[in-house]
Amino acid sequence: MNIMPWHAELVETISDLEKRDALPHAVMLSGGEGLGVDVLAHTLARALLCESPASGYPCGQCKACHLMEAGSHNDFMSLELEEDAKQIKISQVRSLVDFVSESSMRGGHKVAVINPVEDLNIAGSNALLKTLEEPAGDTIIFLVAQRQEAVLATIRSRCQILNIQPPSHEDALSWLMQSLPAADSDVVHSCLSISNGEPVTAMRFIEQDAWGQQKTMIEGLGAAVKRKKTVSDLAESWADDYLQDRLVWLIQWIEQMIRFSSTEDESVFLNADSVAMLKYLAGKAGFSVLFELREAHLVQLRLLMGSTNPNPQLLCESLIILWQDLMRSSR
């Protein structure tokens, strides 16, 4: 079992509510993707179905825990995106409705996890509303929300919302070093700094050499800004499985330029390889230009995370051209 220390307080909260028979039928667990909210939801589900939970965590030894491990517990259901799907489908929600209407097979709780709830399509959201309005039996539904603002207000209003907060920088570092003992400490620090303090994202960055990818990305962007690399060639190298991360990094760099323009403090630049280029561009552009650039990137990020399925190559090209335009900016 993957125990994440920053979940401990919420695990205790759910355990206490369950002991007092005060557990709501719908709990929304809200937090960034890099905080392991999906892991927390499944940990809580396992604990509620466990025959001998300890301090809110599943024992891992009982029959119920073995059934959960094998993916064959009849009183548990998980709704997630199907392969290559952009949304959780109405047919999946109908299966959940049927699951909720049935009696427990083992005489205890029935538990469902929806992950992430913001990926429900409109029809699915409406079908879920009916289930949340009229809960059946001893069913607990955990709704994982990585972007709570994207969830229908009518769904949010029918849930008890628990917000998962990032751990302190020191606690995040400690967990990462324990989880990845062979990792270089400087790389761990660097990857945590570009992950908005979210340890699970930092772990993924370490495993994927994101710091090295950032260096390559900065070099490519610098070459394109100076017209030494074509927009189409650079866009092609960005339009891969890490495109969402790349957009987040671009937004981080823009925000660092905005902070530098206010403070002239070079320490705001988290990647040493980026300092010269970002400092120069920040000096060329005014606040209004940088804020407009940030908004343009946020729009593209929302499109990428939504269901519109934008063309990755064209998306990257449009943003690279905006960076080139900074060279012609003037305060």
CATH code, domain carrying 96: 3.40.50.300
* Rounded Cα gap, residues 258 and 278, in angstroms: 10
* Rounded Cα gap, residues 111 and 64, in angstroms: 12
In a domain, 37, yes or no: yes
- Domain finish residue from 163, 193, 220: 163
Q: Is the peptide bond before 167 cis (omega within 30 degrees of 0)?
A: no
22-31, 121-130, 184-193, 294-303: segment of lowest average pLDDT: 121-130
Query: Mean pLDDT, to the nearest integer, of 11-35?
Result: 93
Sheet hosting strand 26-30, strand order edge to edge: 76-80, 110-115, 139-145, 26-30, 160-163
Whole-number average pLDDT of the chain: 92
pLDDT of residue 73 exceeding 90, the answer is yes
In a domain, 179, yes or no: no
In a domain, 145, yes or no: yes
% pLDDT > 90, the chain: 76
In a domain, 268, yes or no: yes
Residue pLDDT, tens place only, 182-232: 999 999 999 999 998 999 999 999 999 999 999 999 999 999 999 999 999
Which pLDDT band holds residue 131 (cuts at 50, 70, 90)? Answer: confident
Domain that holds residue 13: 5-163
Query: Mean pLDDT, to the nearest integer, of 296-300?
Result: 96
In a domain, 176, yes or no: no
In a domain, 192, yes or no: no
CB 290 within 8 A of CB 282: yes
Q: In the chain, which ranges are E strands?
A: 26-30, 76-80, 110-115, 139-145, 160-163
Which pLDDT band holds residue 284 (cuts at 50, 70, 90)? Answer: confident
* Rounded Cα gap, residues 257 and 285, in angstroms: 9
112 by DSSP, 3-state: which?
strand
Number of domains in the chain: 2
Q: Transcribe 134-176 into DSSP letters.
A: S--TTEEEEEEESSGGGS-HHHHTTSEEEEPPPPPHHHHHHHH
In a domain, 47, yes or no: yes
8 by DSSP, 3-state: which?
helix
Same structural domain, 61 and 124:
yes
Residue pLDDT, tens place only, 230-270: 999 999 999 998 999 999 999 999 999 999 999 999 999 98
Same structural domain, 154 and 231:
no
Same structural domain, 111 and 34:
yes
